[in-house]
Amino acid sequence: MRGARAGSVSDLEALFRAHWPKAYRAAYLVVHDAAAAEDIAQEAFLAAVRALDRFDRRRPFGPWLHRIVVNRAIDWARARALRAEVGGESLAEQPAQPDPPHDQYSAEVVSALAALSPEHRAVIVLRHLLEYTPGEIARLLDLPRGTVNSRLRRGLDELKGLLE
Amino acid sequence: MKRFRVPHEDEARERAWQVIRAAFAHREPVAWPRRHARPLVATAVVAAAVGAALSPPGRSVIDSLREAVGVEHAKTELFSLPTRGRLLVEAPPSGVWVVHPDGSKRLLPGYREASWSPHGLYLVATKRNELVTLEDDGNVHWKLARRDVRFPRWGGTMTDTRIAYVCRRCPGVVSAIRAVGGDGRGDRWVTKGFFPIAPAWRPGPGHVLAVAHTDGRIRLWAADTRALLATSRMIAPPIELAWSSDGSRLYALSRFALYVLDAGAHLLAVHRFPDHIIASALAIPPRGAAVALILHRQGRSEVGVLHRTYRRIFSGAGHFTRLEWSPDGRWLLVAWKEPNQWLFIRSTKVQTIRAVSGITSQFDSSTFPSLAGWCCAR
């Protein structure tokens, strides 16, 4: 972080490569759309670049980035839910769809996760992909800890039901 | 879950890194060759300018106007439009209004979702199960009975036009974008699987229709043959599509970014908005390459113009709902919901602002009326 602030591209690249995968995966698991996830994670990093000079070095970079990513992903998923699809039939020429994940376990979990609400997806992703504690999730999402715990419990129960 | 990988993750990472690195390079005081720097400058300038514009207010003369919601000394009636052209206004439940330059208004009762024909000779509007073309005095030309029609848009040349519309329950192909000749003949479906936003006709001949599809891509269709002409890369779900007046650029506005595509649906530039700023509308002037945008942040709205760089025109507390350019490109009309005002802003240098209040009651509307087009003097 210090090197990036000083203008070092290689340090910025190290920062990017260390944090991109989890940011991108977290966004994807909330929005279930690779292009949107790429946009969301990319925008979060652009925000980081813009804020480099003002960034408080005492604060860890990861939670700051994940906060932006997950909140934007929730916003995006909510917006898409409001914009229900028109037309259920497939197009004559089919667009490229993302390949299914290689790992069967991952594929099932990811599919089931898509059936949850964006809010439930987000807390599960923060807890089980990014490994934040419920207290940390509460701070990241500006939620009461009890709300985080109940969303986690309900989300995991629903996920379990879907996977059984 | 920790083992999960997004398909094509490496490619996404490298694409993102190119963007991040470019943004970082622009941040540094490094003189780049201009031809390389331009697209990056565009993106960064929007971010920087919008961020500054929607930061705590209080710098310019205009800023002082907006501290109270609404512009002071607004006229209580729309006595006239500031320039030529006629306005289309949707005012449910009364219908669609046509406003003439002298301020006279004519109600076309019961209609909704109206838009002008390319040269403003006619307009198309919908009723729930009807597509109707008419003159601005209400004289109906033809009707097409279709179930649950929405988003009619009229495109083409002076002599050969098409009307695109969404039909959610039409026979044969359910939920399709359809196109019909300007004379009411040749109705056919064009495509399916689209986002519920209006399609956009490319100006000029050829009847090329841009459609935002649910797979995140914009597609260009030849409406007459249903041939797919081009497909864009995936973008965030757009809320509005619009072509530049010369048909060389297609703008797709999402909540977080403005995507600029060329006439072949190739992505030319992405103008991302800063954090916590969300876009809601755009307007294309009758000439030139500028784009006017409405942006929102924490209860405030702003209208600005992007033309190489981004420049704020006006901002205020509350919600700007729609904006329209005048036919001569000299005025921007901004609809401001909370003070129930319209603002006519003279030129992008804000030489004059004319405000009109009491808009809802002037159009006998139960909600704040929506602007549907400012077109063409006759």
Could you tell me the CATH number of the domain that includes residue A129? 1.20.140.160
CB contact under 8 A, A87 and B216: no
Q: How confident is the model at residue B347 (pLDDT cuts 50, 70, 90)?
A: confident
A21-25, B6-10, B140-144, range with the lowest pLDDT: B6-10
- Residue B165, pLDDT score: 96
- Residue B143, pLDDT score: 96
A153 within a domain of the structure (yes/no): yes
Q: What angle do CA B193, B195, B196 make, to 5 degrees?
A: 115
- Residue A106, pLDDT score: 62
Contacts of A79 in chain B (CB under 8 A): 237, 255
Tell me what the mean pLDDT of segment B144-151 comes to.
Answer: 92
- Residue B343, pLDDT score: 94
Tell me what the mean pLDDT of segment B37-44 comes to.
Answer: 39
Tell me what the mean pLDDT of segment B51-62 comes to.
Answer: 40
Contact B116, B376 (CB under 8 A): yes
Q: What is the pLDDT of residues B151-185, one digit of tens each?
A: 999 999 888 999 999 998 777 667 889 999 999 99
Instruction: Please name which of B187, B192, B183, B186 lies closest in space to residue B212, comparing C-alpha atoms.
Output: B192
CA within 13 Å, CB half, B300:
20
Size of interface A-B (CB pairs under 8 A): 164
Taking 60 as the threshold, does the pLDDT of residue A12 lie above it? yes
Tell me what the mean pLDDT of segment A64-87 comes to.
Answer: 73
Q: Which residue has the higher pLDDT, B165 or B3?
A: B165
Q: Would you tell me the crossing angle of helices A61-82 and A34-50 to the nearest 10 degrees? A: 140
Helical (H) or strand (E) element with B342:
strand B341-346
Tell me what the mean pLDDT of segment B338-348 comes to.
Answer: 88
CB contact under 8 A, A43 and B13: no
Out of B174, B236, B275, the one facing A39 most closely (by C-beta) is: B236
- Residue B263, pLDDT score: 94
Instruction: Please name which of A124, A146, A145 lies closest in space to residue A136, comparing C-alpha atoms.
Output: A145
A133 within a domain of the structure (yes/no): yes
Tell me what the mean pLDDT of segment B354-367 comes to.
Answer: 93
Tell me what the mean pLDDT of segment B261-287 comes to.
Answer: 89
Tokens linked to B34: 């201009």
Q: What is the pLDDT of residues B275-322, one digit of tens each?
A: 778 899 999 999 888 899 999 987 889 999 998 788 888 888 889 999
Q: How confident is the model at residue B350 (pLDDT cuts 50, 70, 90)?
A: low
B332/B350 Cα distance (integer angstroms): 10
Specify the number of domains making up chain A. 1
Contact B176, B189 (CB under 8 A): yes
A71-75, B45-49, B257-261, range with the lowest pLDDT: B45-49
Beta-sheet strands, E only, within chain A: none
A122/B228 Cα distance (integer angstroms): 37
Closest-CA distance, A18 to chain B, in angstroms, reads 11
- Residue B15, pLDDT score: 79
Tell me what the mean pLDDT of segment A24-49 comes to.
Answer: 85
Residue B200 sits at φ, ψ, to 5 deg, of -130, 125
Tell me what the mean pLDDT of segment A13-30 comes to.
Answer: 91
Neighbours of B203 (CB within 10 A): 18
Tell me what the mean pLDDT of segment A112-125 comes to.
Answer: 88
Instruction: Please name which of A68, A76, A71 lies closest in space to residue A50, comparing C-alpha atoms.
Output: A68
A119 within a domain of the structure (yes/no): yes
Neighbours of B194 (CB within 10 A): 23
- Residue B138, pLDDT score: 93
B342/B359 Cα distance (integer angstroms): 7
CB proximity list for A2: less than 8 A, separation 6 or greater: A11, A57
Helical (H) or strand (E) element with A107:
helix A104-114
CB contact under 8 A, A87 and B192: yes
The mean predicted confidence, pLDDT, of chain A is 78
A90 within a domain of the structure (yes/no): no
CB contact under 8 A, A50 and B274: yes
Instruction: Please name which of A38, A160, A33 lies closest in space to residue A97, comparing C-alpha atoms.
Output: A33
- Residue B18, pLDDT score: 76
Q: Which residue has the higher pLDDT, B128 or B111?
A: B111
- Residue A80, pLDDT score: 66
3-class state of residue B166 by DSSP: strand
Taking 50 as the threshold, does the pLDDT of residue A79 lie above it? yes
Closest-CA distance, A142 to chain B, in angstroms, reads 15
Tell me what the mean pLDDT of segment B323-334 comes to.
Answer: 94
Contacts of B233 in chain A (CB under 8 A): 35
A55: domain range? 2-83+104-163
Helical (H) or strand (E) element with A104:
helix A104-114
A73 within a domain of the structure (yes/no): yes
Contact B54, B302 (CB under 8 A): yes
Instruction: Please name which of B92, B123, B124 lies closest in space to residue B110, comparing C-alpha atoms.
Output: B92
ipTM of the complex: 0.81
Contact A91, B193 (CB under 8 A): yes
Which is it for strands B188-192 and B176-181: parallel, antiparallel or unpaired?
antiparallel
Amino acid found at B108: L
| Structural domains of chain B in order of their starting residue, each with its CATH number | 61-375 (2.130.10.10)
Tell me what the mean pLDDT of segment A109-133 comes to.
Answer: 87
A91 within a domain of the structure (yes/no): no
Interface test with A, best of B2, B24, B217, B220 (most A CBs within 10 A): B24
3-class state of residue B257 by DSSP: strand
Q: Where are the alpha helices (H) located in B215-341, listed in sequence order? A: none
Tell me what the mean pLDDT of segment B193-217 comes to.
Answer: 91
B359/B63 Cα distance (integer angstroms): 23
- Residue A93, pLDDT score: 26
